[in-house]
A and B are shown apart, each in its own frame.
Chain A
Amino acid sequence: MTQHDTMISIRNVGKRFGPVVAVEDACFDIRRGEFFSILGASGSGKTTLLRILAGFEAATSGAVFIDGAQMDAVPPHQRPVNMVFQNYAIFPHLNVRDNIGFGLRKLKLDRAERQKRIGAMLDLIKLPGFGDRHADQLSGGQRQRVALARALILRPKVLLLDEPLGALDKQLREQMQIELRALQRSVGITFVLVTHDQEEALTLSDRIAVMADGRVLQVDTPAGLYERPCSRRVAGFVGNMNFLPARVLSQAGGATSIDIPGCGTTCSIATKRLEHCSSDISLAIRPERITLHRSRPAAPAIAVAGVLRDRMYLGERTHFQIELEPGGATVAVSSSTMKAEALGTIGPGAQVWLSWPEDALIPLGNE
């Protein structure tokens, strides 16, 4: 990646509030034109990091560069970024038009040009004719669009979004996700989104940084995070995951033999996938990578027996909970409802078999 491709460079950024460490040694780049998400639970430091980018908080250590320029001593009003706030911060004393045009004062535009730009923004956010509405006459979704227009009208190098969809109900949120993605493509501005909703991050982003306890755990594409999580925390945070305790037995050639006590079986995994792992590891496996059988399958070498404990119908998919050992932990299996129907009517207590392809197992160190 060349310097030219990098829009934001976060270099060893740390932030403390008194004794509390909010962000610790964050270090990653955000590319030009990218839709980037910072994903984490509340208190993970993601919002603090975003506010450091906007200039509302000063980093205690490290440096932030935006488009090659160091930002530490640059106050918020001089930074080439604009922000969509969590509760939108629509100015209550102004109407929609004046809210959107708030940042234009400094450009000293004449009236016609100003109105033209605001009109174009109103069209962009699909609210033409709303210019004279007052802030308190807008619905949640409309407020969100106005906040977007107000930030985009200044053509920032980066648009920061702080949980912009958090206040909306589920249906509206899904619709706005699609619009947000389309908007980002059409304006071509770098978006940095902060969210606690992993589904939102996966749907919208080109790349995602996962944060927990002030640390950046992993920066990767959605598929990379989902398929190759680097730790149990990331694996557990992005999507659903089963964790099977396992132990390294022996190495031979390029493969390592691993014992999975809970399943009463062993398997072998390419040794290079086991770098950084000690002998006690966890094997992570996505519920949808597990296949359910009513009798011992012939094809895969490894098949594990279990007892069905619960079955949940979720429309397109059906979820199962399977107990591998009596009284032991259960494994979640997600199957398309069509396949589940094919199994026939099995209920709790039924004997079942599980199988999975070898590459579905993700070895992770136990931290």
Chain B
Amino acid sequence: MEESPSAARMPLRNRLQGVLIRHESLRGFLLLAPALVILGITVAVPFLLMSAMSLWTQIGFDYADDWSLRNYTAILTEPLYTTLLLRSLTMAMVATFVTVVLVYPMAYFLAFHVHSNKLIWLIIITLPFWTSYLLRVFAWRVILGYEGVINSGLMELGLIGEPLQFLLYSRVAVIITLAHAWAAFAFLPIYVSLEKIDKSMLEASADLGEPPVMRFFRVILPLSMPGVIAGTFLMFIPTVGDYVTPTLVGGPDAAMIGNLIQLQFGTINNWPMGAALAITMILSITLVGLFFMALMHGLRRWAR
């Protein structure tokens, strides 16, 4: 090669410049590096640490780092853990299902029947989602409380003699609150998938004499399924681990796995068990997700 001797004579700075010019992906990684390093330190490393700690055991104020599956055996055998885990999964599932069903018509309306100012509609629908989760949950406590909006309102109207006990501190309260708080998360992907559907194709199918109901079930719903699935995941995953809502409106009967994790790091002070619970939660979410995907896959094949 004739160019190598001249390259060797170039000053280091130029040679570095040359390397950067030749390797585009290197420049890309340099730009990404700060974000990746920070996420590595704050996400990846802690996660590995948590995985390691879940295999330790708490003894008094100390850890026994003798690597055992004791925490996991306890989680899988003691009813307290399994009950809370299953309850969290079911409640998140119910809340997700309710939300997706309620949100779909709204997304449909916005995608197909709103023709101007769509952006403003979108902003208004997603706006609450960006703001204080704590306050939005607190609002439901105001509504569902023993002397809250509903109870005092109904009593004022003379419809009930004394406050309804079941409103606050129940699983229904948690599900309502979760549905309200996470609606935007389920809404956006469904809306996006509906918006992507080619309107002229629908007009063509109308032209072929298909009635609107058939068109919805044969064209629109199948085409929006990716959005529905994305929305389901986006809402289900974070809600399983929620503990603000069950704490504020759930009470003991509606406690979820998040509450238990929080207790391990708080009053119970058993961090290895907390770590094991967090890992178990992630694994169980993954399992449910995989099962759901398989189910959807099966349904699609069956529908054909």
Touch A–B, Cβ below 8 Å = yes
The tally of residues in A whose CB lies under 8 Å from a CB in B reads 7
Q: Quick check: is B70 within 8 A (CB to CB) of the other chain? A: no
| Complex interface residues of chain A between 46 and 60 (CB less than 8 A to chain B) | 55, 58
| Complex interface residues of chain B between 8 and 29 (CB less than 8 A to chain A) | 10, 14-15, 17-18, 21-24
Contacts of B21 in A (CB 8 A): 55, 58, 72-73, 75
Contacts of A165 in B (CB 8 A): none
Q: Kindly supply a per-residue 1/0 record for chain A positions 50-84, scoring 1 wherever the CB is within 8 Å of any chain B CB and 0 otherwise.
A: 00000100100001000000101101000000000
Among residues of A, the one whose C-beta sits closest to the C-beta of B6 is A70
Contacts of A55 in B (CB 8 A): 21
- Report yes or no: B22 in contact with A58, Cβ–Cβ below 8 A: yes
How far is A55 from B6 in the complex, measured between Cα atoms in Å?
19
How far is A75 from B23 in the complex, measured between Cα atoms in Å?
12
Q: Which 10 residue pairs are nearest across A and B when measured between Cβ atoms?
A: A73-B18, A58-B22, A58-B21, A73-B14, A75-B21, A63-B3, A73-B17, A75-B17, A73-B21, A73-B10
Q: Kindly supply a per-residue 1/0 record for chain A positions 262-284, scoring 1 wherever the CB is within 8 Å of any chain B CB and 0 otherwise.
A: 00000000000000000000000
Of the candidates B18, B23, B24, the one whose C-beta lies within 8 Å of that of A72 is B18
| Complex interface residues of chain B between 106 and 131 (CB less than 8 A to chain A) | none
Contacts of B18 in A (CB 8 A): 72-73
Q: Quick check: is B287 within 8 A (CB to CB) of the other chain? A: no
Among residues of A, the one whose C-beta sits closest to the C-beta of B22 is A58
Q: Which residues of B contact A (CB under 8 A)?
A: 3, 6-7, 10, 14-15, 17-18, 21-24
- Report yes or no: B17 in contact with A72, Cβ–Cβ below 8 A: no
Among residues of B, the one whose C-beta sits closest to the C-beta of A57 is B24
Q: Which residues of A contact B (CB under 8 A)?
A: 55, 58, 63, 70, 72-73, 75
Contacts of B7 in A (CB 8 A): 73
Q: How far is the CB of B207 from the nearest CB of chain A, in Å?
A: 34
How far is A70 from B1 in the complex, measured between Cα atoms in Å?
14
Contacts of A72 in B (CB 8 A): 3, 18, 21
Name 17 interchain pairs, CB-CB below 8 A, sorted by A. A55-B21, A58-B21, A58-B22, A58-B24, A63-B3, A72-B3, A72-B18, A72-B21, A73-B7, A73-B10, A73-B14, A73-B15, A73-B17, A73-B18, A73-B21, A75-B17, A75-B21
> Among the interface residues B14, B15, B21, which one has the most CB atoms of the partner chain A within 10 A?
B21
Contacts of A63 in B (CB 8 A): 3
Contacts of B23 in A (CB 8 A): 58
Q: How far is the CB of B279 from the nearest CB of chain A, in Å?
A: 38
How far is A73 from B19 in the complex, measured between Cα atoms in Å?
8
How far is A153 from B25 in the complex, measured between Cα atoms in Å?
33
Among residues of A, the one whose C-beta sits closest to the C-beta of B15 is A73
Among residues of A, the one whose C-beta sits closest to the C-beta of B7 is A73
- Report yes or no: B22 in contact with A70, Cβ–Cβ below 8 A: no
Q: How far is the CB of B30 from the nearest CB of chain A, in Å?
A: 15
How far is A58 from B15 in the complex, measured between Cα atoms in Å?
14
How far is A75 from B22 in the complex, measured between Cα atoms in Å?
10
How far is A363 from B63 in the complex, measured between Cα atoms in Å?
89
Q: How far is the CB of A63 from the nearest CB of chain B, in Å?
A: 6
> Among the interface residues A55, A63, A70, A73, which one has the most CB atoms of the partner chain B within 10 A?
A73
A72-B21, A73-B10, A73-B21 given; 4 more Cβ-contact pairs under 8 Å: A58-B21, A58-B24, A63-B3, A70-B6
Contacts of A70 in B (CB 8 A): 3, 6
Contacts of A75 in B (CB 8 A): 17, 21
How far is A70 from B22 in the complex, measured between Cα atoms in Å?
15
Among residues of A, the one whose C-beta sits closest to the C-beta of B24 is A58
> Among the interface residues B3, B14, B15, which one has the most CB atoms of the partner chain A within 10 A?
B3
Q: How far is the CB of B202 from the nearest CB of chain A, in Å?
A: 33
Q: How far is the CB of A141 from the nearest CB of chain B, in Å?
A: 33
Q: How far is the CB of B159 from the nearest CB of chain A, in Å?
A: 62
Q: How far is the CB of B14 from the nearest CB of chain A, in Å?
A: 6
How far is A55 from B21 in the complex, measured between Cα atoms in Å?
8
Q: How far is the CB of B164 from the nearest CB of chain A, in Å?
A: 60
Contacts of B22 in A (CB 8 A): 58
Among residues of B, the one whose C-beta sits closest to the C-beta of A55 is B21
Contacts of B10 in A (CB 8 A): 73
Contacts of A58 in B (CB 8 A): 21-24
Q: How far is the CB of A210 from the nearest CB of chain B, in Å?
A: 28
Contacts of A73 in B (CB 8 A): 7, 10, 14-15, 17-18, 21
Q: How far is the CB of B260 from the nearest CB of chain A, in Å?
A: 49
How far is A70 from B18 in the complex, measured between Cα atoms in Å?
12
Contacts of B17 in A (CB 8 A): 73, 75
